[in-house]
Chains A and B, each alone.
Chain A
């Protein structure tokens, strides 16, 4: 497996434009996570999905952010309109499911998308 694949690797856009980040998780993984990393705030969990269904979106900063997972092999994170404070590295990660009776699994992260909003 090629791992978690994110695109694009770098994105530079002007304030007010729509930005779409893409993620392909590892085949067979039940969970998909979107994180944002900045120097000031570290790694923040934005939203995560279980079997394509959003479970917790409490980390999504505001209504300008939206995420979808139309199928098990693809997810998008959209920012509309984008603002300079959205500049960050956005990571997608995936994981197998585990329960209390199973040994937990770690996450596999993608290489990230570095977003710069000017």
Chain B
């Protein structure tokens, strides 16, 4: 079952613009991760943020996490055509949560946002 829901489902922008994707989830988490998937390829890990962190940066990527709202956002600054891909958020459950089941190393993925960056 999917834990996270990304918003928007699809995003189309011009090169140089910023792209913001949002993710909402339902249960308590240990960490949240973002992945990119190019068409026909596997997923690539981009960035990870722990539940006690509010913001992380990696190159042109900025991730925020609001555990009170159970939401996260991924910002890609100065986008490039090569950023065209699907982006997924994934959550690792909090092992102390009542909703927890199974191991806490597992990730549950959202439905993804399809980003198109036009030259």
- Chain A interface residues (CB < 8 Å from chain B): 4, 31, 33, 35, 42-45, 48, 50, 55-56, 58, 91, 93, 95, 97-98, 100, 103-112
List the A side residues contacting B45 at CB < 8 Å.
106-108
B12 contacts chain A at the CB level, 8 A cutoff: no
Contact A95 B105 (CB under 8 A): yes
Q: A104-B92, A106-B45 are in contact. Are A48 and B109 (CB under 8 A)?
A: no
List the A side residues contacting B92 at CB < 8 Å.
104
Q: Which B90-105 residues have a C-beta within 8 angstroms of A? A: 92, 95, 101-103, 105
Please classify how large the interface on chain B is, using the bins under 10, 10 to 19, 20 to 34, 35 or more: 20 to 34
Contact B42 A48 (CB under 8 A): no
B10 contacts chain A at the CB level, 8 A cutoff: no
Contact B50 A104 (CB under 8 A): yes
Q: Given known contacts A33-B107, A50-B103, A103-B50, what 6 new A-B pairs fall within 8 Å (CB)?
A: A4-B42, A43-B2, A55-B103, A104-B31, A107-B43, A107-B45
List the B side residues contacting A55 at CB < 8 Å.
102-103, 106
User: Can you list 11 contacts pairing A with B, beta carbon distance less than 8 Å?
Assistant: A50-B103, A50-B105, A56-B102, A97-B105, A104-B30, A104-B31, A104-B92, A107-B33, A107-B45, A110-B42, A112-B41
